[in-house]
Structure 1
């Protein structure tokens, strides 16, 4: 399959356009995830109102103590205020504990649900999506970007409301105590609002860039750690180090710009709060000396000024965190809005049994536009037949295998299995009836047994062992220290290519497919192991419709029919001997390999 760089660039541009088009819809979609837990969120908000009220009450209690009791030497009054103050602190602790527990628990539950939804949706997407989307990008969406939403659900939403309520509450209380002092307190408010709006607009852009750079570095790491063996074989460590350093500096610069936004904003708000405090002390001190206000009132205003600017600072930073969450959400929703190209029909045809008759009727197929990989291809494979496809690289052989399992849809023509158009069949039944044996066998982290069963609990241990014995895989498995429980690492790095291939045969046999598809199944295998594999293949193919792709013609001479592909078209077909007698493309390929 050809994956053009231009296609990947177009996909990236489409993602950027998508993010810009979202506007205010992102927050609305995010809040929908919190809807099932609205009662907990509402209770947390009520606790926040209680916490805010208690915080507003504390300076008033101290001010009352100063004016009513301390100045008059009334110790009993001071004790009374101290007891009330203690009760307020205890209630604040209890409310804060309950609010934090509720929000963290609810936030983690919501994040769990989002992560599950994204992972489940990714599994539904067509192979074309994975052709043009790097693995590192998908991993970043499911891990980093989803986790970035946690802070929003666990803290930010309710704290935003808390700070808004606190700002309004402080303003109302200050205005009710002394209008003149309040006006002096709020004189710098327009400058604060202007700074906050500016911070919000700049932070959104910096967060979006930072998330993009994190994705880029994760993509790079995923690709190059997987290909580390190749890098070391060609001694490209220094060059790759320089490439990584460049991407790492990109991320550093993005994070630095993000940090600078905070570094400028917070001190600016703090400076304005100090100026306001100086104004209050100057105006309030003069008023106390003139007897216009009491010392307790001045204390309340001094405390409230600090409390007034603090939630404004927090509010702006929380808005910044919200921007980060919004940037991550845009990228998550881009994946969730990606529609699978292959979908089940509303009323799929369910076959009682898949016998394995396959027919291609004038099939035309292209991965992109009209760059046809297959051109007017027609053939029939009867149940139990063994058919091989040969031809030069890019002739369309592997594409035919992908189309049989409907991993891609054709543009013209028709593909049927047992007389039913595969577009009308249940996709799970179709793919479940096809056993795939690939050249590059993927082994998951786990053990031998789990890699044969692949989480299908219906396959018993006896069936696993029987399948391994039947395809000769037991010959090496029985020699392992833990036999079928032997741990294996990602991609089966501790196993040889032949051992991985034998495991894939056992895996295929355990699922008992009606149709067997093999793409270069014996490539890159040593001669001794190839004999075992060839014997296993012969057993595996018994009674099954088998479709093979191979460059080594010696491995497919026994096929009932060999179809020769050339530039997307069928040029020749017949048995091995018939094709040699035709003196065409097949004979040239055969003689070339003999030489």
Structure 2
């Protein structure tokens, strides 16, 4: 990967160019257009010289019309090639970033949950949107523009030497000054642009988190505090950009001054020679003035284009850093789980989110097909972790998890997860219709199927009361629905997927009585006849479970039915029941 201050990373650039292979014809056409423009660029000054020396000075009007016609034709060709060059260079850039963005998004959807536990959403959004968009400028304004400029400069320099080596030496004497200034400028801007990208990512991350958590900000009256924090981050962002403006403010006046000095020397030396009837003509002087400007202009612009190229390379470096991330669940299973019986077994399973810190400590238990198992325990006991491990969101450290007697690692990930439906405590809904949030755009699940399922589990009445019914847009994260309503949508989403195994992180503590009753009804309907694991928060669910697993500090400390566990003197479940559930039962 590119290092800070490094002028150019050819290895990274070569890797990026590999994405143009699918558009090879367009790539070569743009390169050809760049060559054509460099040739056409020297024809205008050449014919301008001949026009002055062969028609204007001798006052030959017929020849003047002839040369003007030729220059007009050259200009038309130049305009056509420039149009094709700009259009197809930008088209190529957009095509490349489309492919790159698709590759990145596909990869990000396959990452372990552990990757997202450690990665800021704002930064990932910046990589997938802003940085990839910046990469397109490598092709539209960087690579091909620089190539075209270099070819044009080479053609101009060769033509100048051919016409007059004396005038050429005057122009070339100024080149080292501009080249050195360009080199220093380009190195400084590389570092400056890396800082800009860092600050953009920080800004995006801060804004996204605060907007997402705006309710917390306002509940605790943190508006002024967050405003001041934002001011500091924004100030750093401004300073990073001002540094790039500072470098531009120094470089471009130096380049302009050097160009003016070269033109002045051309007029002085060439004018004296022409006045003394030397070999330098008036047309040659005018042609060299234009050629010198054409030579220096790309030099001044090439620095700016190098900035664009460098900014694109910095962005590419960040994007490839994600593409190179090895954070995938190994999907080497070959067994397709078409329809599971739902028999689950954990054998001596150990797991920790952080190395050397186990949250699941040598757990073993089994769930029979069609059985409902409730898991209870204090916060942090490891209840939700069991859900994550069964779905292979995380890889276990040791032990084995079996479904229908087969290790879950032997199943393909898609078939495994398609047979396990999860209703989480914190329900996530997309900014879309209720129907699309239920089907998740699965074409195999029709609206008729969803409506029938809604009636079966008793949630159709609630959906019909909403404007538009199943077409009602719930907005971002389901903001237009109550927590109980979101929970009901999640139940219906799980139910229509017809899973063999159902996992419920039952969350009814913060919902109203009406919603809770519907959720209890939906729970009974949805768990009937299928293997269910329920992280229980309500006594009603626990009482109806075939088996209760009691967890503490990552271990299963007790197993049994509600009645069996209550009989244990000083048992963990009995103490939990007396503290948490007895009051509920009395009510």
The TM tier, using the shorter chain, reads: over 0.9
The worse-fitting range, judged by mean Cα deviation, of 518-527 and 571-580 is: 518-527
Question: Match for residue 46 of structure 1?
Answer: 32
Seen in structure 2, the aligned counterparts of structure 1 residues 476 and 352 have a Cα distance that, compared at 3 Å, is: closer
Q: CA deviation at 1:22?
A: 10
* Distance in structure 2 (CA, Å) of the matches to 1:221 and 1:273: 45
Counterpart in the other structure of 1:131: 117
Question: Is 1:548 the equivalent of 2:502?
Answer: no
Which of 226, 229, 233 aligns to 1:243? It is 229
> Are the aligned partners of 1:40 and 1:102 in contact in 2 as well (CA < 8 Å)?
yes
Please list the CA deviations of residues 318-367 of structure 1 after superposition, one character each: whole Å capped at 9, or x if unmatched.
1111110011001100111112331211x522245311111111111011
Counterpart of 1:124 in 2: which secondary structure?
A: coil
In structure 1, the partner of 2:324 is 337
SS of residue in 2 equivalent to 1:443: coil
Q: Is the 8 A contact 1:22 1:330 kept in 2?
A: no
Alpha-carbon distance between aligned partners in 2 of 1:22 and 1:420, rounded to the nearest angstrom: 51
Using structure 2 for the length normalisation, give the TM-score.
0.96
Alignment correspondent of 2:136: 150
- How many aligned positions are there? 580
How far did residue 554 of structure 1 move? 4.3
Given that 2:2 and 2:9 are in contact with CA atoms closer than 8 Å, whether structure 1 keeps it comes out as no
**What's the CA shift for 1:555?**
3.3
For 1:371, which of 357, 361, 381 is the aligned residue? 357
Aligned to 1:414: 400
Q: Distance in 1 between matches of 2:521 and 2:248?
A: 68
| Alpha-carbon contact 1:348-1:424 (below 8 Å) kept | yes
- Paired position in structure 2 for 1:3: none
Q: Is the 8 A contact 2:349 2:364 kept in 1?
A: yes
TM-align CA RMSD: 1.7
Q: Give the drift of 1:424.
A: 1.4
Q: Is 1:86 equivalent to 2:72 in the alignment?
A: yes
* Aligned residue in 1 for 2:218: 232
Q: Which residue of 2 aligns with 1:301?
A: 288
Quick check: 1:589 aligned with 2:576? Answer: yes
How much has 1:552 moved relative to structure 2?
3.6
Pair 1:19–1:66, CA change in 2 (3 A): closer
Map 1:522-533 onto structure 2 (within 5 A): 522-533=508-519
CA gap of 1:318–1:266, structure 2 versus 1, over 3 A, is same
Determine helix, strand or coil for the equivalent of 1:409.
coil
Cα separation, 1, equivalents of 2:554 and 2:9: 45
Q: Secondary structure at the match of 1:361?
A: strand
**How far 1:19 sits from its partner (Å)?**
11
Quote how far apart the aligned CAs of 1:429 are: 1.0
**Equivalent pair of 2:185/2:303 in contact (CA under 8 Å):** yes
Measured in 2, the distance between the counterparts of 1:569 and 1:521 equals 23
The equivalent of 1:276 in structure 2 is: 262
Does structure 1 residue 321 correspond to structure 2 residue 288? no
Cα 1:444–1:535 change in 2 (3 A) is: same
Equivalent position of 2:372 in the other structure:
386
Structure 1: 5+ residue stretches without partners: 1-14
Change in Cα spacing, 1:465 to 1:411, as seen in structure 2 (3 Å) is: same
Deviation of 1:114 after TM superposition, in Å, equals 1.0
Structural mapping, 1:57-456, within 5 Å: 57-292=43-278, 293-345=280-332, 347-456=333-442
- Asked whether the 8 Å contact 2:132–2:315 carries over to 1, the reply is yes
Q: Larger deviation: 74-83 or 106-115?
A: 106-115
| d(CA) in 2 for partners of 1:309, 1:71 | 28
Distance in 2 between residues matched to 1:380 and 1:23, nearest whole Å: 55
Partner residue of 1:35 out of 2, 8, 21: 21
Structure 2 CA distance for partners of 1:17 and 1:280, relative to 1, 3 Å: closer
- Aligned to 1:186, the other structure's residue is in SS state helix
- The alpha carbon displacement at 1:86 in A equals 1.1
Over 3 Å counting, the alpha-carbon distance change for 1:137 and 1:371 in structure 2 is same
| Aligned residues of 1:19 and 1:331 also touching (Cα < 8 A) | no
In structure 1, how many angstroms separate the alpha carbons of the residues matched to 2:338 and 2:419? 12
Change (3 A) 1:23 1:150: closer
For structure 2, the residue ranges without an aligned partner over 5 or more in a row are none
Cα distance in 2 for partners of 1:34, 1:263 equals 35
Q: 2-side partners of 1:206 and 1:105: how far apart?
A: 28
Check 1:338–1:157 CA distance in 2 against 1; reply closer, same or farther (3 A cut): same
Q: Which moved more, 1:255-264 or 1:224-233?
A: 255-264
Task: Say whether the 8 Å CA contact 1:356–1:418 is kept in structure 2.
Answer: yes
Deviation at 1:484, TM superposition (A): 1.1
Q: Give the structure-1-normalised TM-score.
A: 0.95
Equivalent residues of 2:346, 2:366 under 8 A apart = yes
Q: Which moved more, 1:187-196 or 1:229-238?
A: 187-196
Go from structure 1 to structure 2 and tell me whether the alpha carbon gap of 1:20 and 1:91 turns closer, same or farther (over 3 Å shift). Answer: closer
Is the Cα contact below 8 Å between 2:138 and 2:313 reproduced in 1?
Answer: no
Structure 1 pair 19–581 and aligned structure 2 pair: CA distance change class (3 A): farther
Question: Could you say if the C-alpha distance between residues 561 and 535 of structure 1 is closer, same or farther in structure 2, counting changes exceeding 3 Å?
Answer: same
